[in-house]
Amino acid sequence: MQKYSTDQFHYQHKRFQTEASSLAIPPELVLTAFEMVSARTGTVLKFNYHGVQRSADGDVNYWTYKSEPRPDIGQQIAIIFND
CA atoms within 13 A on the CB side of 81: 10
Q: Which amino acid is at 31?
A: L
Query: 69, 68, 83, 75: which is closest to 25 by C-alpha?
Result: 83
| pLDDT on residue 57 | 95
Q: With bands split at pLDDT 50, 70 and 90, how would you rate the model's confidence at 28? A: confident
CA distance linking residue 72 with residue 70, whole number of Å: 6
Domain ranges of the chain: 3-81
Q: With bands split at pLDDT 50, 70 and 90, how would you rate the model's confidence at 27? A: confident
Predicted model pTM = 0.91
| pLDDT on residue 83 | 86
Count of residues making up the chain: 83
| pLDDT on residue 13 | 85
